[in-house]
Amino acid sequence: MKLDINQIEQHNASLSEAHQRKFDFIANEIKDVEAVIEKLQAFQIAIPSWALGTGGTRFGRFNGPGEPSTLEQKIEDVGLLHALNKSSGAISLHIPWDIPTDAQKIKDLAASYDLTFDAVNSNTFQDQAGQEFSYKYGSLHHVDARVRKQAVDHNIEVIKHGEALGSKSLTVWLADGSSFPGQLNFREAFQNTLSSLQEIYAALPSDWKLFVEYKAFEPHFYSTTIADWGQSLLLASKLGDQAYTLVDLGHHLPNANIEQIVSLLLMEGKLGGFHFNDSKYADDDLTAGSIKPYQLFLIFNELIDGLDARGLDHATGLGWMIDASHNLKDPLVDLLQSVDAIKLAYAQALLVDRVSLKQAQQENNIIKAQEILQDAFRTDVRPIVAEARKRSGAAIDPVALFTALNVRGQLVQERGEKSVATGL
């Protein structure tokens, strides 16, 4: 299904008066609100193809109705999101779950929804039917050179699919690790990973980026071969200028200071991509901003500071993507909520008085510094984010419109109750 522009206009007209009142109130309080709105309009967050179906847990998966069962339907879903919020203008594909059979056709379909293709993602964390060697004991770090070659070849194939679609980056996340002391020689595992990544890097087109993602634990419970930002940065530095670290919010040990991590990676010019989600305990795949909105704001505060320091454009300086997969909520509603939460945190961070903050830091004025940050965080920027949506032709309240139009009900009619998304 495709949303009719009239449906969005009618929805906006019905909310217009109340919205204008709230917007005027806050706009008067903010210096250069127009610049903030322009930045919000430009800021796009890519949607991963695996977030469109209901996610599973280690114990079970409860399918939602009307899930997208083909790549075409996944593109349709992201098209719906983008029509509702004009902030989700790219899709990130996972190979081999979403192999396009006719790349040009898929590209044209995406373009009809005003979508481009973000990073492509390889998968060496599970075995596929007909695969010669198993990844049970890892992929790029494997002790057997034949397994490593199979995993390298897969990544090179993913790059080729991405090239056909117009992607410009490859994200490598490895499940490689060990669950018992003694299982693995750490140095050899790292060296094998490095030499495998070097082969992939050599196949990278010159205008592409390679994102090296890290994760503290899971699926392995004793060691992970790329477990933290230090290990990722080490690999990215050894690989070369086109290799970067990718930070996923859910991939840290509890209470890690992620804002400090992104600050230093940006300073070194090695932060390439960002995966949004939220968590209470670890990699919980929860809606962005649903548990720790202040942390999300503090991260954006450092991202803006670091991007500005390097003269990078906020919208294009890094790869922005959601990486989450829910098992309870309607995935599309969850993604609308996540994108909204990300833009709220971004808007709040744009309000930080950086000149005064710098001065407070120079004077060791901790109280003032805290006041400056919390003043921005406690500003209700919802009408500003809604205004940015409205000006881009999106809905003032995307979740309300999704519900009012019974979008899921219409998708169920088209696809059936039992359609199941490929992937997790």
Residues lying near Mn ion in the complex (CB under 5 A) are found at 248, 275, 323
Shortest reach from residue 134's CB to Mn ion, in Å: 23
Helix (H, G, I), strand (E, B) or coil at 411: helix
- E-strand ranges in 18-89 read 47-48
Cα distances from 405 to residues 1, 80, 125, 313, 409, in angstroms, run 12, 12, 38, 36, 9
Residue 135 or 402 having the CB closest to Mn ion: 135
Question: Of the two residues 323 and 340, which places its CB atom closer to Mn ion in the complex?
Answer: 323
Least Å distance, CB 290 to Mn ion, is 17
The region that residue 218 occupies, defined by phi over 0 for left and psi between -120 and 50 for alpha, beta otherwise, is left
| Shortest separation between residue 32's beta carbon and Mn ion, angstroms | 34
Q: What are phi and psi of 121, to 5 degrees?
A: -120, 130
DSSP class per residue in 55-73: ---SS---PPTT---SHHH
Least distance (Å) from Mn ion to the CB of residue 321? 8
Tell me whether strands 319-322 and 271-276 are parallel, antiparallel or unpaired.
parallel
Sheet of 90-92, strand order? 47-48, 90-92, 116-117
How many C-beta atoms surround the C-beta of residue 244 within 10 A?
A: 26
The SS3 call for residue 210 is strand
- Residue 94 is classified by DSSP as B
Half-sphere exposure of 317 (CA within 13 A, CB side): 18
Spatial distance between the Cα atoms of 385 and 396, rounded to a whole number of angstroms: 9
Cβ distance to Mn ion smaller for residue 275 or 314: 275
Q: For Mn ion, which is the closer residue by CB, 67 or 248?
A: 248
Which CB sits closer to Mn ion, 163 or 218?
Answer: 218
For Mn ion, the closer of residues 248 and 397 by Cβ is: 248
When the beta carbons of 77 and 248 are compared against Mn ion, the nearer one is 248
**What minimum distance in Å lies between the beta carbon of 285 and Mn ion?**
10
To which residue do tokens 């117009």 refer? 166
**Least distance to Mn ion, CB of residue 83, Å:** 26
- Nearest to Mn ion of 125, 221 (CB atom): 125
Provide, rounded to whole angstroms, the least separation between the CB of residue 246 and Mn ion: 7
Cβ neighbours for 205, distance < 8 A, ≥ 6 positions apart: 159, 163
Whether 345 and 382 have beta carbons less than 8 Å apart is answered as no
Shortest Å, Cβ 50 to Mn ion: 10
Please answer whether residues 421 and 74 qualify as being in contact, where contact means their C-beta atoms are separated by less than 8 angstroms. Answer: yes
Report how far residue 328's alpha carbon sits from residue 211's, in angstroms, rounded to the nearest whole number.
30
Measured CA to CA, the distance from residue 277 to residue 45 in angstroms comes to 12
Nearest approach in angstroms of CB 213 to Mn ion is 6
- Gap between the Cα atoms of 95 and 334, Å rounded: 23
Residue type for 154, please? H
CB of 274 to Mn ion, least distance (A): 9
Residue placing its CB nearer to Mn ion in the complex, 148 or 215? 215
Nearer to Mn ion, 213 or 387 (CB): 213
Between 141 and 251, CB nearer to Mn ion = 251
Q: What is the spatial distance between Cα 421 and Cα 48, in angstroms, rounded to a whole number?
A: 13
- C-alpha distances in Å from residue 51, one per residue of 40, 62, 329, 387: 23, 14, 11, 27
CB of 323 to Mn ion, least distance (A): 4
